[in-house]
Structure 1
């Protein structure tokens, strides 16, 4: 598998990466295609959409109940966010069968192996990593996704799921999407655990902004949630004008990004919101990450 990270070999022109994607096979080359899409073409969109993808999983009572029992969200929400984001970024940047990719998967499986987690819950979380970013980019991306990118994302995460030991993963894009929508219809409902984990997560998002802006960010986060999520968390709907303004701002951003030159280096593991592991990945291995690794992050 070719993984490009040399600025001198980046394709020329705003649609250079897209031309390269069109030359690749979405099954055999799913890792390379997905790395280009998420690391070069839509890194900001992927980071934001995966934040809300994880947020979406907390609408499932069995998932939020487990997360609340661990105490990680209450005590160290930033660390848990960083662990998850960086482990997924390692898989994206290096591939799931690379040395760092295999180490990342061992870390993920080590953390999950400490708990009894239902296979359907694991499969649902996997679904959100596929379909939430695709839906986000359909709404707010600077260009339409190519069919190769959709299929590559599906096959990439399907292979990740297989290596995580998730069972009964459909081998068809639409079949897995039907599982996701059926699962949400059956399981999304309000619980106190949902509400608590939702508040911890929303407060984390707010902590990334100066204190005077945080009340507005709280309402802004609610504006990004659909009615099913608002109900499952017990959150109030944002004013219609704010929801509309937020969507217009995201679409306006996409028009500006369309005018920029193509990205020449992947941003997969370079997230400025990472506060737990300064300078990552310099000086760190994927095995250093995880809820059972402290690294000077005390509880409370």
Structure 2
């Protein structure tokens, strides 16, 4: 009989602080690849609810004129770091590229901290709602230690020392800074339309309210989006929970689809890390 929990058994034997990259590799590559990707998309959407962040993003024009490239560039850089590790040659190149892009702009350290925190806690919250199993403590802590290390390599200051402290920062920052702005709406609409563009044109109308079901009320208000019907939210939530229950009966993948070098919409013939990012002169 195939052991669906073989990766969990390995993860529970690892040290979440010392072995955080190995654990995150298993989480994103084998245990929750689809869920992690969806959760990180929601995480990025949450950051656009902060007017100071969306104002800067709107100013660059990347989200309005090249949303698919912006999405692909971000996805590629993060995947390179997660797949190969931040100490590898490819991981270091991706980190250096990401840092060089960020240095072109004046970004407040508190905004950096908040964005970093969403990469930790949104996947964990998604897992609590829709995962085929709940993350164990080692997985939660390893996620914190992994992204904290990434933050340190990005020269982000004042990163909290514990999982609980950083989660409190995440919640308090949202409470203090989530509010509507026209920039939020422009970036939110552009990102929403990007997601919808991946499907056939005739699905555009029904997909819009479906997209909104994955955003909570504070996000919808910050974007100025209409709230979807409660029955639609319940239906989508039930479908995702059923999907999670069904996955329990499938064997763990022997090869990670998350880490396979699929052609992207922006780079159908491959990419060079050095050429990623906006074409903006420093």
TM-score (norm 1): 0.90
Match of 2:276 in 1: 289
Matched, 1:184 2:174: yes
Matched, 1:247 2:237: yes
Change over 3 Å in CA distance of 1:237–1:61 after alignment to 2: same
Match of 2:207 in 1: 217
Match of 2:11 in 1: 21
After TM superposition, where is structure 1 displaced by more than 4 Å over at least 4 residues in a row? Answer: none
Would you say the 8 A contact 1:64–1:194 is kept in 2?
A: yes
- Name the CA distance, whole Å, in 1 between partners of 2:112 and 2:88: 23
User: Following TM superposition, by how much is the alpha carbon of 1:197 offset from its aligned partner in structure 2, in angstroms?
Assistant: 0.5
- Name the CA distance, whole Å, in 1 between partners of 2:256 and 2:70: 23
Match of 1:111 in 2: 101
Matched, 1:198 2:198: no
Would you say the 8 A contact 2:120–2:144 is kept in 1?
A: yes
Match of 2:91 in 1: 101
Residue in structure 1 matching 2:27, options 10, 33, 37:
37
- Name the CA distance, whole Å, in 1 between partners of 2:147 and 2:85: 11
User: Following TM superposition, by how much is the alpha carbon of 1:279 offset from its aligned partner in structure 2, in angstroms?
Assistant: 5.5
Would you say the 8 A contact 2:84–2:90 is kept in 1?
A: yes
Change over 3 Å in CA distance of 1:200–1:287 after alignment to 2: same
SS at match of 1:170: coil
Match of 2:66 in 1: 76
Match of 1:3 in 2: none
User: Following TM superposition, by how much is the alpha carbon of 1:57 offset from its aligned partner in structure 2, in angstroms?
Assistant: 0.2
User: Following TM superposition, by how much is the alpha carbon of 1:224 offset from its aligned partner in structure 2, in angstroms?
Assistant: 1.2
- Name the CA distance, whole Å, in 1 between partners of 2:249 and 2:259: 24
TM-score (norm 2): 0.96
Would you say the 8 A contact 2:94–2:273 is kept in 1?
A: yes
- Name the CA distance, whole Å, in 2 between partners of 1:270 and 1:117: 33
Change over 3 Å in CA distance of 1:54–1:267 after alignment to 2: same
- Name the CA distance, whole Å, in 1 between partners of 2:261 and 2:36: 11
- Name the CA distance, whole Å, in 2 between partners of 1:252 and 1:79: 33
Match of 2:81 in 1: 91
Residue in structure 1 matching 2:121, options 126, 131, 151:
131
Would you say the 8 A contact 2:263–2:269 is kept in 1?
A: no
